[in-house]
Amino acid sequence: RELRRLLAAGLQPDPQTVADLRSLMQQFRLDFLNALDFPPKNPEARRHLSDKEIFTSQGKTELSEADVQKAIALSDQLDLNEVYCVELLQTSYLETGRVSVEAATGIYLEERLSLVESLFKLFEFQMLYAKEGERAVARSELLKDVSSFNLGILSEVSQDNKSALLQRLLTLMRKESAVGGGPLGSQEVVSYQYGSIVGSKAHFLQQEQVWLSRCFFYGTMIANASFKIDRASLFCDNVQSALSLLVDKCKASEEESAGKASSGQATLQQLYYLCFAIVASLTPSDSASLQSNLRHEAGKDAVLRDQMDSIAEGVSSGLLGLVLLAWGVLQVELHCTGGNLAQNPKWAAYLRAALKAKIPPQPGKPVDAPSDVFWYTAEGIFGSVTFGDEAPDMKDACANVVHSTVVYFLQWVEKDAQSGSMLLGTSSTYYQDDHVQMGQVLGSVLTLLASLYRVDLDLHVKCAALNPLMHHGAERQPESSTFVPLLDLYTSLATGTRGATYIFNKLLNPSPSVMGGSPPSWSGLYAALWEYCSLFKQEEIPAMKEDEATTLAAYLELLAHVLENGSPGDIPQWLGQLQSLDLQILAPHHRDFAHDNGYRPLFPLFFLQQQAIPAKLKGALLIAARSFAPISNASLAEQVWKFLESSRLLADIPKDGSTSMPIDIRYQLAEVEARAEEYSSTLAFLKLLNRLLMSSQTFHTMLHSYVRFVRESVLAPLMSRGYKDKEQKWDLARECLTFLELTLQGFNIDEVDMEDGKLVLDRVAPLQTLQDFLSRGPGCQAIITIIQTGVNQLIEEKHAGVSGYKAELAIESALNLLMSVFQRDVTAANKFNQVGPTYARSYKSMEKHMQHRDIWTILGYVRYHFSPTIQVLALQIAQILEERIPELVSILLSPQVAESSGSKSTQQLVHAFAECLQDSLFKPVSTGGARGPGTADEDTRAALILNLLLRPLAAKRQGPNLTHLLLGFNLEAGISNTHIDIMSFSPLQVITEALYQFKCHSHWPREVEQMLRLLSGLLSDPATSGATLELIRSLENNYFMDVLHVALIHPIPHGSPDRIYYIWQIKWILQIHATALHRSLSEVQQDKEDCGKLLRGLIGDAVKSEAATLPYCAILMALQLCKDALRHEKPALKQDMRLIHLQRQMQVNLLLSAPELVSEGGVRAMTDRGVVVYHIPTLGGILARFFKDLEVNCGWSIDSEERMRANEVLQETLRYAQSHNAFSQIAHAIQEFLSSWEQLVSVAFSRHDSIAMEIQLAPTGCTGFQSLLALATASLEGLSFVSSTSNAHLSQPLARVTNVLMASVLKHTKDVVAAGGLYQGISSDTLDVQSCHKFFTVLVNCLSKPSDKAVRQHLYGSLIFFLLHTKGTK
């Protein structure tokens, strides 16, 4: 974590960061070099264990018999030194609160993983800036240090004269199950970082292997760029060892996957990183300038040549084919002068072997799909989900290596045209005996380049052969083996506004063909579309051929991609150009059909939906239609709506009782796609609907029909249908849920009048969606089924990598939709039930339809730390359920709910909430709805969890409630009998840790206030006060002082919205102290010491203040903070003679003085803390209406002076209302703070043996009477200040505090006199004259100001106490 934090500082950090990183790298240098070299089992160490007393790095340790047995079990499982195992068990206790073999295993595995990850982070940091070369190193001290360190450890040579680190990495990858295999492979392990089960041991070890292979790939790249010719033998050794390992792993992978669909994600990652490291060593590259002579040495290496000869005999793996290709080109470079391959058949043999290799087809691909090395690399690696999950920088590095290899190959192909056309399979002789379709290799090269440019478009500038290659592909149109890949390549190049514009114009005005071919053009696309429309209309063809459909689908994908990436301003012009294309190539009768339909580019896209064409093409047509409706252009979206509705894609179901189904999208789904288990056209239709709803805000007449179709035909049977591609299931789910969510977006149920005779419930889309949910209809049940996937299965899907990301998005959409329904369900249910007997179904709010298991599953998603957005939605729903379901805790504890035993499940839930809170506070990320970079939303998870914990306490829900359950109270033994083990991982542990670290994280003012409020609430509740008091006593002396320090020392700007949280923080700290003292004050000596400890923090510990020269005690500074907060007088509405008549006409004063809440027709609202404020949206709406009325009645023009003044009145009133709201809440917070201060004083000073008398007041060090008088003076100064402002109501608590303090002064005077102490003048234990004068002056000043009767009464009482004291002490 520390390494990651230091590297995150970028190229130009502060000098301290550079120094810290330098020190950290040196500290772990040996650990990196001896990667994962942990001490092995040792008989001597095992004998020591039996003594029950050993020395570890933490000192002398005594062991019980159980500890010894656990250490031995751990040693046997992990093949580790016994003493080291004792240390692991000690760490497991410190981190999780128990001595656990599972937790110790997790700690060990994570330690291994974090070491390899750290090494990777160092390599990655250098690689990120490798493109900038020397310039980046020259201007960054940090990069210079990291590069120097990396090169240092990569240059270390082992005893047998090999590259120490890279060979070590290869050895570890060869061992694979370095931590023992067998039955333990599936053992669950506990992660100490989160305290919860995060996966199996096998999963950890797989991840370790992946990180090792990443380190090897980046390490090789760095070494290649830095090694000189004198390192040639090291270089060749590394390539040999890596190749030997790759061959073995490919073989093992083939055997492993013989009975399965494909190898696992982790295996594939290891294989391609190894392959790319080897290829990078054989290929010239500009990013890491690998020395040519080093490559040439490798090319001449006899051992490598033997290995390559062996591979060339029968290439069955695409990765080995790629290595052979790079080796083959290297041999041609070394031996074929001028690149003439025909004259040097020996050296071209490797190339031929690589290109002729028959690689088994990819899972899910047709058996006759191309299977050469280029196609495999495009589809099997860059097109795989595994590669899609990689980090962007890793993808770029891999794409760069492969692109360099392809460019390297093409550069030799270009040198010899004859050999080149042979190699690319465009001459008819070369592959004759191999059944390779003509032009297939060229097509595969184009496909691979398309895949690479999708990863990194900038690579295309490095390919000099790109234009000739595209030209070559365009000349051979009849062969779709080159034409479709060429369209695919165009699609990749049309990324971004610039690329889209270039490709659009290229196809609008294509270059004329030289060889009679027909290059891609928009005219070619639309000529084909119109021709098919005409042929189907005249019934001249029964159906479309599959290969023609494939070409058209690729064309349409290109069109859609160009329109999606084009500039919004260009789209209308482009659509005009598509409508006026030159279609001379069409036969006259086909052209007439196009003319009759106005050449409108959208027409064929919808017309062909009704014809006998493959489902995939129907999907491509709809996706193209979707791109005609950009989100930013509502008028274009309206055009698409019209085409959609006129195309009758969703036909009306006949009302005559006929059972025949019309041939429409329903039929397509049920009869065609469901049988083929492939749903591309339905998916495209849903995407089109969603785009139209996003682009055009008006609801359309047909929308209710689409809602029914989505709900009943797609969503309801979704989870029970079969799918060839599992990802499609989750894609369909997500699109359906997004559609239903969009129908509810912006819909206000309050504004619907159910008594309106024109309202037909079934024809209003949002009402239809709500009806389904509130009667647990088919759509509602389907969504609940999706949510019931559950967190465990979702984590499994995520690790499997095949469809995890898509499943995650679908569940996020389901929770989002559920949240939208929860916001409207109560009102909607009431309205629906009022309509009467016409609608016989009974409508209930959402929680009443949910079964116990559904509730448990939703709360379980808090454990899904891969997606903060899912966690946020689960927490928001949990808040609603907590409020609405009184028996929520009983439901969560019921045995039929949990998947494992009750206590284990509850513990998992506690851990999940603790982990989520910890992540949100210490590793915050964006939790906004938008995914991906650029979202700057704050992480709200911590605030939501703390709010959920506070709710039951605030509502005084009877225990055991959700707060007790989630904080880990023992619900079986009884809440009041709980002992809080602060070592046990729970939200309470995270809260205490967060408060302890608050000094370093002062950006959490809101969360810290919630934490303190929670502790105060637990302390005030009789059931939990004992355990909480015990917890507070166990904390360090100055624990709360650190929190106070942040609030008091750093001056908070007046305008900061966080100011109020700091005042509340101080209030809760004082309240916690007051309650703790009240509960502690007994005759027990220990309790007295605890009270002294608490009070010393507030009164006796000096707080260093940067604002003042002297340190202050916390209480005096807190009073000062509140005075500062009130310095800005209560805001008043600006009185301007120019505006008064308009204020009267707009009824401003009447509106602002009305006390009614919004629900009563007024403009006021109540905050969650009970403060009445103005409801700005309502106030703004009413003022805007008055403004509009005046504008119409007075006939103001847009620039009339009177209109501008009226607008000024509106703005000024809203500004005043906002200031008033802020001030009211600050004043209320201060009132609450003073109430707690009063309670604290009453408890601390009311007893005659008050501990407070013994505490030395900061900063003077004086005790007893002087402390009391100083605090009383501060209270009077506060009172003097507030009585002269509009906050006179704050005077009473301050007057009462002064009275209590002065009564205490008198009481202690009498105690001293009664004890026989006669005062001759002033002694050190009593008051000095200066303090007396100061107090007396302030008191008289307060009495001279007007104040209410109660305040004066307390002030006169204080005066009498003061006089009696001074009389008693002479």
What pLDDT is recorded for position 435?
Answer: 44
Task: Assign 382 to helix, strand or coil.
Answer: helix
Contact 556, 623 (CB under 8 A): yes
What single-letter DSSP state applies at residue 669? Answer: I
What pLDDT is recorded for position 133?
Answer: 65
**What is the rounded CA–CA span in Å between residue 1236 and residue 1364?**
28
Secondary element (H or E) of residue 482: helix 480-493
305-319, 702-716, 1034-1048, 1150-1164: which has the minimum mean pLDDT?
Answer: 1034-1048
What's the pLDDT band for 1017 if we cut at 50, 70, 90? very high
**What is the rounded CA–CA span in Å between residue 147 and residue 164?**
18
**What is the rounded CA–CA span in Å between residue 1204 and residue 1206?**
5
424-438, 494-508, 1057-1071: which has the minimum mean pLDDT?
Answer: 424-438
Q: Which residue type is seen at 1014?
A: L
pLDDT at 691 over 80: yes
238 phi, psi to nearest 5 deg:
-60, -45
Q: Percent of the chain having pLDDT more than 90?
A: 17
What single-letter DSSP state applies at residue 1112? Answer: E
Closest to 384 in 3D by CA, of 305, 318, 339: 318
* C-alpha angle 248-250-254 in degrees, rounded to nearest 5: 120
Task: Assign 536 to helix, strand or coil.
Answer: helix
Closest to 616 in 3D by CA, of 706, 689, 665, 680: 680
How many CA atoms are closer than 13 Å to the CA of 181, on its beta-carbon side?
6
Mean pLDDT of the chain: 80
pLDDT at 1109 over 50: no
141-159 average pLDDT score = 86
pLDDT at 181 over 50: no
**What is the rounded CA–CA span in Å between residue 90 and residue 104?**
8
CA distances 1271 to 149, 834, 1089, 1231, Å, are 59, 62, 22, 18
Q: Percent of the chain having pLDDT more than 70?
A: 81
1173 phi, psi to nearest 5 deg:
-130, 170
Two tokens, residue 248:
């073995």
Radius of gyration of the chain (CA): 38
Secondary element (H or E) of residue 188: strand 188-191
Write the DSSP assignment of 1244-1286 as a string of letters: HHSSTT-GGGGSPPTTT---THHHHHHHHHHHHHHHHHHHTTT
189-198, 440-449, 625-634, 1134-1143: which has the minimum mean pLDDT?
Answer: 189-198
What's the pLDDT band for 952 if we cut at 50, 70, 90? very high
Contact 262, 726 (CB under 8 A): no
What pLDDT is recorded for position 821?
Answer: 92
Report yes or no on whether pTM surpasses 0.85. Answer: no
Task: Assign 760 to helix, strand or coil.
Answer: coil
What pLDDT is recorded for position 627?
Answer: 92
Closest to 1088 in 3D by CA, of 960, 1253, 1315: 1253
Number of residues assigned to the chain: 1370
**What is the rounded CA–CA span in Å between residue 73 and residue 184?**
12
Range of 62-66, 1131-1135, 1292-1296 with top mean pLDDT: 1292-1296
How many CA atoms are closer than 13 Å to the CA of 459, on its beta-carbon side?
27
Give 61's strand partners: 54
747 phi, psi to nearest 5 deg:
-90, 125
**What is the rounded CA–CA span in Å between residue 506 and residue 490?**
10
Contact 182, 238 (CB under 8 A): no
Two tokens, residue 300:
């001449």
Task: Assign 885 to helix, strand or coil.
Answer: coil
Two tokens, residue 361:
């087809």
Cβ-count burial of 571 within 10 angstroms (0-12 exposed, 13-18 middle, 19+ buried)? buried
**What is the rounded CA–CA span in Å between residue 1165 and residue 1221?**
10
**What is the rounded CA–CA span in Å between residue 1105 and residue 965?**
41
Closest to 1074 in 3D by CA, of 958, 822, 1242: 1242
What's the pLDDT band for 1120 if we cut at 50, 70, 90? confident
Q: Which is more confidently placed, 1038 or 546? A: 546
pLDDT at 798 over 80: no
Task: Assign 894 to helix, strand or coil.
Answer: coil
Secondary element (H or E) of residue 398: helix 392-415
1160 phi, psi to nearest 5 deg:
-100, 10
What single-letter DSSP state applies at residue 379? Answer: I
Write the DSSP assignment of 15-79 as a string of letters: HHHHHHHHHHHHHTHHHHHTTT------HHHHHHHTTTEEEETTEEEE--HHHHHHHHHHHHHHT
pLDDT at 859 over 80: yes
pLDDT at 179 over 50: no
* C-alpha angle 642-630-727 in degrees, rounded to nearest 5: 95
74-78, 508-512, 728-732, 825-829: which has the minimum mean pLDDT?
Answer: 508-512
Contact 311, 324 (CB under 8 A): yes
What's the pLDDT band for 194 if we cut at 50, 70, 90? very low
1102 phi, psi to nearest 5 deg:
-70, 135
pLDDT at 1363 over 50: yes
pLDDT tens-digit profile of 749-783?
Answer: 877 777 766 666 666 788 888 888 888 888 899 99
What pLDDT is recorded for position 739?
Answer: 92
Q: Interhelix angle for 496-508 vs 480-493, to 10°?
A: 140
What's the pLDDT band for 517 if we cut at 50, 70, 90? low
238-252, 567-581, 1081-1095, 1204-1218: which has the minimum mean pLDDT?
Answer: 1081-1095
**What is the rounded CA–CA span in Å between residue 413 and residue 737?**
51
What pLDDT is recorded for position 990?
Answer: 86
pLDDT at 87 over 60: yes
What's the pLDDT band for 424 if we cut at 50, 70, 90? low
**What is the rounded CA–CA span in Å between residue 1306 and residue 1298?**
12
Which residues, 6 or more positions from 388, have their beta carbon under 8 angstroms from its beta carbon?
805
Closest to 1250 in 3D by CA, of 1005, 1080, 1027: 1080
**What is the rounded CA–CA span in Å between residue 330 and residue 324?**
10
326-330, 813-817, 959-963, 1307-1311: which has the minimum mean pLDDT?
Answer: 1307-1311
What pLDDT is recorded for position 290?
Answer: 54
Find where tokens 């803390």 sit: 1169
Two tokens, residue 732:
């369909």
**What is the rounded CA–CA span in Å between residue 725 and residue 748?**
39
Two tokens, residue 1239:
């309670």
**What is the rounded CA–CA span in Å between residue 73 and residue 61?**
18
pLDDT tens-digit profile of 1283-1341?
Answer: 777 677 788 888 888 888 888 877 777 766 666 554 443 454 556 778 888 889 999 98
Write the DSSP assignment of 1184-1249 as a string of letters: HHHHHHHHHHHT--TT-HHHHHHHHHHHHHHHHHHHHHHHHHHHHHHHHHHHHHHHHHHHHHSSTT
**What is the rounded CA–CA span in Å between residue 1105 and residue 1090?**
26
Closest to 266 in 3D by CA, of 63, 113, 376: 113
